[in-house]
């Protein structure tokens, strides 16, 4: 989907989420773009790739995903199915492992429900307390990534780059 179309469709939901949770709408929208491939992959209206751990009481779905870990410990990293594990070196020369697995993810009846739960997710998890103190959407992205939201390298940079690309569509911005 085109950036402008994605923005028009989902920015209102991000603004509503910001009103409810004080999480910057730009950060929410950019993360939705990353996690859903610009709205192309949002099964169960889960635009954020939020997993359904044991505490989740709502609907869930099993999806294939990619995880990156610094070890290959199958007792520590438990998934319903492991399809492959591949060793590689990151950009700093450290050995990492890419796991292709099935895991449980949250599912929602509507897009609005998914966006709302995204904000609630950060407020309900103490590990994101520092992120909630962020003064800008960019600081929020750095803090969320530092708290371990995504296992992939470079997540915060990608998130901030997407935010920068979306800023042109914000109300009051020159085209």
The total number of structural domains that make up the chain: 1
Q: Judge whether 175 lies within some domain.
A: no
114 alpha-carbon distance from chain centroid: 12
67 catalytic, yes or no?
Answer: yes
pLDDT tens digits for range 14-47: 999 999 999 999 999 999 999 999 999 999 999 9
Q: Judge whether 124 lies within some domain.
A: yes
Domain CATH for 9: 1.10.530.10
145 vs 10: CA distance, rounded Å: 22
Q: Judge whether 73 lies within some domain.
A: yes
117 catalytic, yes or no?
Answer: yes
Residue 153 pLDDT level (bands cut at 50, 70, 90) = confident
What range does the domain containing 128 cover? Answer: 3-168
162 vs 27: CA distance, rounded Å: 9
Catalytic residue among 18, 35, 103, 117: 117
Q: Judge whether 173 lies within some domain.
A: no
DSSP letter at 122 equals: H
Q: Judge whether 97 lies within some domain.
A: yes
pLDDT tens digits for range 87-119: 999 889 999 999 999 999 999 999 999 999 999
Q: Judge whether 94 lies within some domain.
A: yes
142 backbone dihedrals φ, ψ, rounded to 5°: -60, -45
23 vs 15: CA distance, rounded Å: 9
Catalytic residue among 53, 67, 81, 142: 67
Q: Judge whether 121 lies within some domain.
A: yes
């Amino acid at each position: 989907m085109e950036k402008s179309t994605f923005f028009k469709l989902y920015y209102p939901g991000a603004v509503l989420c910001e009103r409810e949770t004080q999480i910057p709408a730009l950060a929410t929208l950019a993360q939705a773009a990353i996690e859903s491939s610009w709205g192309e992959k949002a099964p169960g209206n889960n635009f954020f790739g939020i997993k359904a751990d044991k505490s989740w009481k709502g609907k869930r779905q099993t999806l294939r995903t990619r995880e990156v870990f610094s070890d290959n410990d199958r007792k520590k990293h438990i998934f319903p199915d492991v399809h492959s594990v591949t060793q590689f070196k990151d950009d700093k020369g450290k050995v990492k492992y890419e796991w292709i697995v099935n895991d449980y993810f949250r599912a929602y009846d509507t897009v609005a429900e998914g966006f709302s739960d995204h904000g609630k997710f950060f407020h309900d998890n103490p590990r994101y307390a520092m992120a909630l103190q962020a003064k800008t959407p960019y600081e929020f992205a750095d803090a969320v990534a530092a708290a371990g939201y995504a296992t992939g390298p470079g997540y915060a940079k990608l998130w901030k780059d997407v935010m920068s690309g979306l800023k042109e569509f914000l109300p009051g911005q020159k085209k």
